[in-house]
A and B are shown apart, each in its own frame.
Chain A
Amino acid sequence: GNSVTQMEGPVTLSEEAFLTINCTYTATGYPSLFWYVQYPGEGLQLLLKATKADDKGSNKGFEATYRKETTSFHLEKGSVQVSDSAVYFCALKGAGGFKTIFGAGTRLFVKA
């Protein structure tokens, strides 16, 4: 079946550091891939998405590239801010399916 594996947290960075959160997936066919972010006390918000191989999703300085050859969708940001402190979820939706599979989430702390 489909699955998503993302790096365990927490990840602690200083402000302006480079961020990478790894995500790999297992799926048949060509799934859509997503990153969601959850700020404290809130629900999840869609951060970015990619629907086919080599697509790059980007938003608010974050980006992720759909790599079919390595079945990965790593999240990156060149310079994090304290306000980026949150939990980040990698997710997958199989082609023709109606369920989204979420990773376990990675908590990010950014120190001033």
Chain B
Amino acid sequence: ETGVTQTPRHLVMGMTNKKSLKCEQHLGHNAMYWYKQSAKKPLELMFVYSLEERVENNSVPSRFSPECPNSSHLFLHLHTLQPEDSALYLCASSQDRGTRDGYTFGSGTRLTVV
């Protein structure tokens, strides 16, 4: 596989559920990112990992918990979410966090919290 792959593409979960989003890249990139895209709002950076170390956490609520076990995989663990957390969650990767080459994005996971 090439590029950035996100699973699942769609997820509906209740507020008491626990679920995880998965992101995988086979580009040899060393930095990975989680973004949240809500309707009529700018892209929100949630987390940044560089060489599996978290380097940025943009004041994200603790009900979102990231995990980066290696440079190819990134997870976002979800628990006790709120309806306002419904959004498109995008994963991205780049060569390294300082690159000027831009990001490669996955297709996203459309999350609906009911």
Binding site for B on A (CB under 8 A): 32, 34, 36, 41-46, 49, 51, 89, 93, 96-100, 102-105
Contact = CB atoms under 8 A, between A and B. Distances in A.
Contact of A98 (B4, B43, B55, B107): B55
A11 to B, nearest CB: 16
Interface in B27-61: 31, 41-43, 45, 48, 50, 55-56
A98 B98 contact: yes
B56 A42 contact: no
B103 interface: yes
B56 A43 contact: no
Contacts of B48: 98-99
Contacts of A103: 42
B107 A97 contact: no
Interface of B: 4, 6, 31, 41-43, 45, 48, 50, 55-56, 90, 92, 97-98, 100-108
Given A42-B107, A104-B41, 7 more contacts: A36-B102, A42-B108, A43-B4, A98-B48, A98-B50, A98-B98, A100-B102
A43 B108 contact: yes
Contacts of B92: 43-44
Nearest to A52: B100
Contact of B31 (A42, A45, A98): A98
Nearest to B43: A102
A106 to B, nearest CB: 12
A38 B42 CA distance: 13
A49 B106 CA distance: 19
